[in-house]
Structure 1
């Protein structure tokens, strides 16, 4: 989460958060009050929660999210890459991130991301493998819920959540954001957000024009070689995400 004097941004990983973070530095008068990237709001504000501030978050099509996560995963900026390397070694890492052979490597990586045994070894000490949620919950759903619900270290686990329907119900009840923007239309949605809330949230006078200017340069920095995210999927993999990340289909209407 990135907190400014008058608002809070819940920066879910790989949903345009780097771009939004960059723009906020350009259009907000003053520096962040608190900043704990990709962390839940209650980690930094365990008692005051929102504190009366407007909270917004970003979301992305789940099939596209996994492709982006994989395509960007071989960079040193991605902790998951290092976790897999430490848990399985360089040979396995090269197999999963063979960037010149995406139709072979990506399916292996995606299946691994939904394999409890694999993640238990790769993410040793992390909460997801021990949460009891992996039999029904996808990696992206967990990451999104972890940032957007209160006290996930306590409640994002069994017995508080026992099914995907339970996860959806919990999010509807406990989501911490007031405004949600989609990665697919982020430039326009954020520009509209700035125009609507500019004065109240402490944006500079030229905020809207600054956002419009940088939207022209906004692009995905993932190293993709296939034309669209759909080209990375077989029917089996499409259905895997549709089942284990149904969260995004039911709540936000995403389709393949």
Structure 2
């Protein structure tokens, strides 16, 4: 979470949040208060403007998997570390975090299976195997983050879970989310409890960020605007191919079904649908 006097930015993993945070620090100042954490009560004081970030679910899954293939990130550590993992749960800072951890302790017996899926960043078969495991109830405890304990896992994927956890729940307050048991209730929950003023889509990062800053009445000099539009991304994985390379029909549908809330709220298209649209556009231009 990035906090300034005017802006609070909540960081959803693998949505360009490091890049957004760096840009915000240059423009409005502020500080990083842990990474990817929920907003505590004290940041809701005053007239702060809340920002969040999102990403195309199909691209997000590829990016997250590729990051794991690089041996990076907390999810990689959770999935590839055998036994019970105690690091990176915030237990030194937060008593409730360690209490939840102890209550939910269960060794990860699937590390070799997970590690097999990280064998080659250019192997679509490895990626598809990972996607199927990620959405298989038998492997959810390995993921951590409390995902396996909430009824939303029956119909919503990890991306949707992280979105709801970060943007609709204040720190250590999960009661309303825990009561969600259907997709319809999930939509209503988000409508009632989402406190984010503007979302920045990874696919339109700079433009969305500048629009959000204008909405927050933050002026950005024209010279800085031009510079930001040319700035290279930060903290990216080493993948070189687009989502269309990695998905087959089954895994594309799986992601679309499990993260349907994100798809529909932000109007994302599956890789095959995007490819069809691009082909149709090229055909029109050729006439």
TM-score band, normalised by the shorter chain?
0.7 to 0.9
The residue that corresponds to 1:95 in the other structure is: 116
The residue that corresponds to 1:21 in the other structure is: 21
Structure of higher CA gyration radius: 2
5+ residue gaps, structure 1: none
Q: 1:76/1:103 Cα in 2 relative to 1: closer, same or farther (>3 Å)?
A: closer
Runs of 4+ in 1 over 4 A off after TM superposition: none
Higher deviation after alignment, 2-11 or 48-57:
48-57
CA contact (8 A) 2:119 2:126 kept: yes
172, 175, 194: which one aligns with 1:175: 194
* TM-score normalised by length of structure 2: 0.76
C-alpha RMSD of the superposition: 2.4
Q: Secondary structure at the match of 1:72?
A: helix
CA contact (8 A) 2:122 2:239 kept: no
Map 1:65-80 onto structure 2 (within 5 A): 65-80=60-75
CA contact (8 A) 1:72 1:222 kept: yes
Following the alignment from structure 1 to structure 2, what is the Cα–Cα distance between the partners of residues 163 and 197?
Answer: 33
5+ residue gaps, structure 2: 82-107, 271-287
CA contact (8 A) 1:72 1:223 kept: yes
- The alignment of Structure 1 onto Structure 2 pairs a total of residues equal to 242
Residue 112 in 1 paired to residue 133 in 2? yes
Residue 155 in 1 paired to residue 175 in 2? yes
1:182-241 deviation digits (Å, cap 9, x = unpaired):
1111112223334x257x44x6x64x5334314323237222143x21221111111111
1:88, CA displacement in angstroms? 4.2
Following the alignment from structure 1 to structure 2, what is the Cα–Cα distance between the partners of residues 172 and 190?
Answer: 22
1:140, CA displacement in angstroms? 0.5
1:110, CA displacement in angstroms? 0.7
1:172, CA displacement in angstroms? 1.4
